[in-house]
Structure 1
């Protein structure tokens, strides 16, 4: 066998079993060869890849990305809650929600920078705007949202310090920009909570891609219950009614959206959502969302119930994001999650008569 200098880069291969034919057993007699008593032996299908490398390269995402997914939802939901409080004159809920929105957005940006490794990589995302890239669009959504939320939070902080900040002539400008800034952050709140679902499902990852029709709805619902839960924790019961309403609505919406998503996904691609650590987190997220939603209904009479329910809802939202992230990472490790859904999609296209494109071929 001829070898070249490039063969040193080839990964080691597993030893092959020795060849040779096996004698057939059976037959009507010792020398029978008609095969009338032979049993068909069909080996169980095993999916394998070249050099045991994954078919789909797993993204190098770890816990910081899960934190970013969760905090982005909290920031978006809190900003919407703050906008409602702004127009209804609920000063305490407005203040707490605005501060929660900018704090979550800031901490989420830090988590993203930690995952990127170097801060300049985060800044490089703003060099251009590519509307066909969910990551590029999401970066600009985060930037616009943070600008509006930051101005609104600065106005609230100035009032908390009894206007003692050394702003000088900028204070009048801040007063004029406060209300528009609150509206700007609210406009970008829903896209901030939803774009991460688009970002994940726009990849070749088997589990994420199989959920592309519903994942954004799950994330938006999760953001709503998280923001409502945080409002219940930080705001007195008398002023937290809008937060309780948002929490109940978000809980019901997330449970319904999650159930619909799992039913519409390919059953094989959905398996990682029900197995291992991802499955455990997914189950607990549903339980906590249900418990927190029910608790929010009765939280108008008890501060303790409000706090416990709010914490349960925050935990449910975090577990939803981490479960989806972990399930997607796990789905790239087994080629079965890639091959079987592809084969089913191919057969479905052929049954529909689509046999003349680049995906299917006529038989």
Structure 2
């Protein structure tokens, strides 16, 4: 059956302007980092993405290495575009990134012009697109001059292979340097994509902080892992389920789930229940409390999980008293695996 999107798909979604650009993004976007590789059923993946579109989620976020194997998420989404979403391409904001290891040898990762542009071309082939809406430098490369990395992003935009450029997981200092270099070569950086959650507040730290730098530069922030890779859900309140991400290993280690952290998570869950929300909904509302945050980028393993996250938009208001209580438990849990090493 030919896919027909819901006629009311834009009625209930909240959209926010991305920095000082002309681009509006949904307050909640769908990322294909987890749950969209060969280890997951493609029918389920398709159902999740199309349901997101039906709910007004216009922004789909990818990267070259999302899988497994690397490239699988882009290849899947390319098939979905061709088979279901091609008539609606102009209603979507599709992003991809390059920075982490994608292929062997000296040109398969980091921030060189050679790698970034080759990766973007490969991503476009997998996606079956002439351009992506946003192309990111996925991580700062301390051994490559920022002028080269920002110059590659500018080439991507100037050549029409990307409409906008962004950076991801850059520290405040390096983000400020990237902005200055970009401005010097005539490139406007649209957005920063950092991790941010009640258990990972690094973007608030320092003077200036990451959020201060992006605000000054007129950039938006699309924050990923607002649920702390599932820690800010009810999933781990009573132990580690056998089918959970923590049990499978990988990006979420059981070591993060210390009794001290679980005590804070249980307290936050209690605050959420008082508000008539799930813990995930509170976690999303909390990151969106800051107007410098344009979008909370979530993953989903099912339509039900997606709908639970989207329901956060029904109650985004947090009182000063609630914020004070949350602050007592929104403490660093050592889970920022993307931090500068």
TM-score range, shorter chain: under 0.3
Which structure: greater helix fraction?
1
Which structure: greater strand fraction?
2
TM-score where L is the length of structure 2 = 0.26
